[in-house]
């Protein structure tokens, strides 16, 4: 997994509407980039809804919020509509950004080992440097912790 102080890898991925979005589009703006395993699962839904509920606060301090998973654009569209998610959801089925950020890792679930996305959040500054890494975050507190960090860091 990448560390704070390193350059955030650029990526270009489709959003829920098929528009191509690059990290470099946000130069000059801080970004909360969070990776999550799957749309419409209990933890991922709680995490996304928490970011949605706090979205206005992120906007007030000029911070963009981007969620990335390997789900399809159609899945993201249904997920965003169902839960009224106001921020960008990007589709990464080829694991381009997921692997570049080092969040595709071995996971153990009930003794079974498989590869998957480790729920992680990166805060990226306006120059494209990773400012803070939040590995293995909890879905219920991730948005509040990111907001608290950003509010202190200004």
Active-site residue numbers? 44
Token pair recorded at residue 78: 């249904």
Cβ atoms of 44 and 38 closer than 8 Å:
yes
How far apart CA 86 and CA 140 sit, in angstroms, is 18
User: What is the rounded distance in angstroms from the CA atom of residue 105 to the CA atom of residue 119?
Assistant: 10
User: Which helix (H) or strand (E) is 24 found in, with range?
Assistant: none
Q: Which helix (H) or strand (E) holds 26?
A: none
* 58, 149 Cβ separation under 8 angstroms: no
Using an 8 Å Cβ cutoff, are 70 and 95 in contact?
yes
């Amino acid at each position: 997994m990448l560390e704070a102080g390193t350059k955030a890898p650029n990526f270009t991925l489709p959003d829920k509407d098929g528009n191509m979005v690059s990290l470099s589009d946000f130069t000059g703006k801080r970004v909360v980039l969070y990776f999550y395993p799957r749309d419409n699962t209990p933890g991922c839904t709680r995490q996304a809804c928490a970011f949605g509920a706090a979205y206005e606060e992120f906007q007030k301090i000029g911070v963009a919020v981007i969620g990335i998973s390997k789900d399809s654009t159609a899945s993201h569209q249904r997920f965003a509509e169902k839960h009224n998610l106001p921020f960008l959801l990007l589709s990464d089925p080829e694991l381009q950004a997921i692997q570049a950020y080092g969040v595709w890792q071995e996971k153990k679930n009930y003794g079974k080992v498989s590869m998957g996305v480790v729920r992680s959040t990166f805060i990226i500054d306006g120059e494209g440097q990773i400012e803070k890494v939040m590995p293995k975050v909890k879905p219920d507190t991730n948005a509040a912790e990111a907001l608290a960090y950003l509010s202190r860091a200004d």
